[in-house]
Amino acid sequence: AFDTAAFWLRTNKFLMNTGIPFMPTIIKKAKGIRLYDVNDKILFDCSSGQMSSLLGHSHPEIVEVVKKSVSELDHLSSLMVSEPVVDFAEKLAQILPAPLEKSFLLNTGSESVEAAIKMAKCATGKFEIVAFSAAYHGMTQGAVSATYSHGRKWAGPLMPGQIAFPFPNSYRSRFRKPDGSYDWEAELEMGWALVDSQSVGSLAAFIFEPIMSAGGIFEPPEGYMKRMSIECKKRGMLLIADEAQTGLGRCGDMFAFQRDGIVPDILALSKTIGCGLPVASVSTSADIEKLALKGGYLWVTTHYNDPLAAAIASKVIDIVVRDNLVAHAAARGRQLREGLQRLQDKYWCIGDIRGRGLLLGMEIISDPVTRAPGFDIGKALSGKALELGLACQCGASSGTCVVFRMAPPITISAKEINQTLNILEQSFAFVFP
């Protein structure tokens, strides 16, 4: 039998503590949506690893392409380009709306945000970066400067010129009227007034996630991003979409910004495009590429444009397109949302259900009148769910609300959605007998 006590002793002795608590479950194998713990117990992975394993763990075709790439062409000098990399860039251009057509590869989300911000600064010759006030964009210095969560603490001095934009909090905004309607336009105007009053006249870009995931699954109302894009244009700012979690079909569109009828100037992809492996990319238009190159060279890192990363990303795109997974994610997302809504009808502690496609959030409250966050209830529910075989993350990086984040692999079947809902149902029945 597995020696759990010895495992945690060794963990605590040798693995550096970075302040993030580990879940109690120890996983030894992952396949598809299933995680297998050291005692062979099966859990459904409703967070796709860290929102990354878009097609499930160890998808056979991804395994195959990694093996092939590692044995034939693994890594090259940053000064050499290879066919898999160009194939990837062309493939990505085919699924992107014009004028986004030029891309390069990196490894992590933080890195892609860092590169996107640098591009925006070079292209505009300005340096101020505006981001939503509950955004999470990564841990490197540029990315964490545009991040408004616990990770920001002690990271200072941050990059100069960071401005927080009040995010559209559809659940708690003061711009919600007693009749339930939400005057987001007034809130947005107030946000820009705040930006304009703080700016030193060097606004470079607005960076956003189409659905703020780590922040608590907050989705701007329809029309909101269109207005944001107009306001950015007015000020000569670029729009950077960070689709780390939302890209490649998860939200029921190939890219989540497409719902809003906008095209960002720069698009950062990561997480989902590597299907659990370290792959990221940045895309832009030929015009912005030209502007960004004014200052000489823009980017080069050891694993930039690696053929291995390119082969993986190309395969992910192929599978998403071939298997019609965008429509599948939309349909399964509707099924999951309906199930969550049935739960909401039964349990007052579910204050709100948000998100779209297979990136859904269920907010847990401790008081239906004040909507106070249900920290203890969330802990009890997610603990019970884990015990019953459902791994999902419950919390929010801002620490101000408690949200179950449901982001299973988009290959999930209708039956697996029902099983997931069943476990949730049992968890609620246990906590509220």
108 binds ligand PMP (CB under 6 A): yes
Q: Between 138 and 249, whose beta carbon lies closer to ligand PMP?
A: 138
Provide the Cα torsion 318, 312, 35, 423; round to 10°: -40
Q: Which stretch binds ligand PMP (CB under 6 A): 11-19, 83-91, 241-249, 405-413?
A: 241-249
Please choose, out of 85-93, 106-114, 156-164, 398-406, the segment that lies near ligand PMP by the rule CB under 6 A.
106-114
Smaller CB separation from ligand PMP, 394 or 431 = 394
Select 37 or 253, whichever has its Cβ closest to ligand PMP: 253
Rounded Cα distance between 2 and 56, Å, is 26
Which range in 66-74, 135-143, 302-310, 365-373 contacts ligand PMP by CB under 6 A? 135-143
For residue 280, what are the contacts with CB-CB under 8 A and spacing of at least 6? Answer: 105, 106, 107, 108, 109, 111, 112, 244, 268, 269, 270, 271, 273, 274
The answer to whether 137 contacts ligand PMP (rule: CB under 6 A) is yes
- Runs of H (alpha helix) within 347-374: none
State which of positions 270-289 bind ligand PMP (CB under 6 A). Answer: 270
Owner of token pair 């470079």: 204
Whole-number minimum distance, CB 56 to ligand PMP, in Å?
A: 19
Query: Helices (H) and strands (E) in the chain — how many of each?
Result: 13, 15
Q: Is 138 in the site for ligand PMP (CB under 6 A)?
A: yes
Q: Which stretch binds ligand PMP (CB under 6 A): 53-61, 136-144, 222-230, 412-420?
A: 136-144
Separation CA 414–CA 389 (nearest Å): 17
**Chain residue at closest Cβ approach to ligand PMP:** 109
Query: Which stretch in 206-214, 321-329, 371-379, 422-430 sits in contact with ligand PMP by CB under 6 A?
Result: 206-214
Q: Footprint of ligand PMP on residues 208-227 (CB under 6 A)?
A: 209, 213-214
250 lies in the site for ligand PMP, by CB under 6 A: no
In terms of C-beta density within 10 A (0-12 exposed, 13-18 middle, 19 or more buried), how is residue 174 classed? exposed
For ligand PMP, the closer of residues 217 and 310 by Cβ is: 217
Nearer to ligand PMP, 49 or 252 (CB): 49
Q: Does 332 bind ligand PMP (CB under 6 A)?
A: no
Q: Which residues contact 396 (CB under 8 A, 6 or more apart)?
A: 134, 214, 215, 216, 402, 403
Q: Is 165 left (phi over 0), alpha (psi -120 to 50) or beta?
A: beta
Contacting range for ligand PMP; rule: CB under 6 A; set: 87-95, 103-111, 247-255, 365-373:
103-111
**Min CB(76)–ligand PMP separation in Å:** 23
313: CB partners within 8 A, 6+ apart: 88, 92, 105, 273, 274, 279, 281
Within a 10 A sphere around the Cβ of 369, how many other Cβ atoms? 6
Which is closer to ligand PMP, CB of 228 or CB of 350?
228
User: Which among 88-96, 131-139, 188-196, 320-328 is the span making contact with ligand PMP, rule CB under 6 A?
Assistant: 131-139
- What is the token pair recorded at 272? 């989902």
Pairing of strands 359-364, 403-406: antiparallel
User: Which lies closer to ligand PMP via its Cβ, residue 153 or residue 234?
Assistant: 153
The whole-angstrom separation of Cα 355 and Cα 357 is 7
Rule CB under 6 A: say whether 242 interacts with ligand PMP. Answer: yes
DSSP class of 212: B
Number of residues in contact with ligand PMP under rule CB under 6 A:
14
Residues in contact with ligand PMP by CB under 6 A are: 108-110, 113, 136-138, 209, 213-214, 242, 244-245, 270
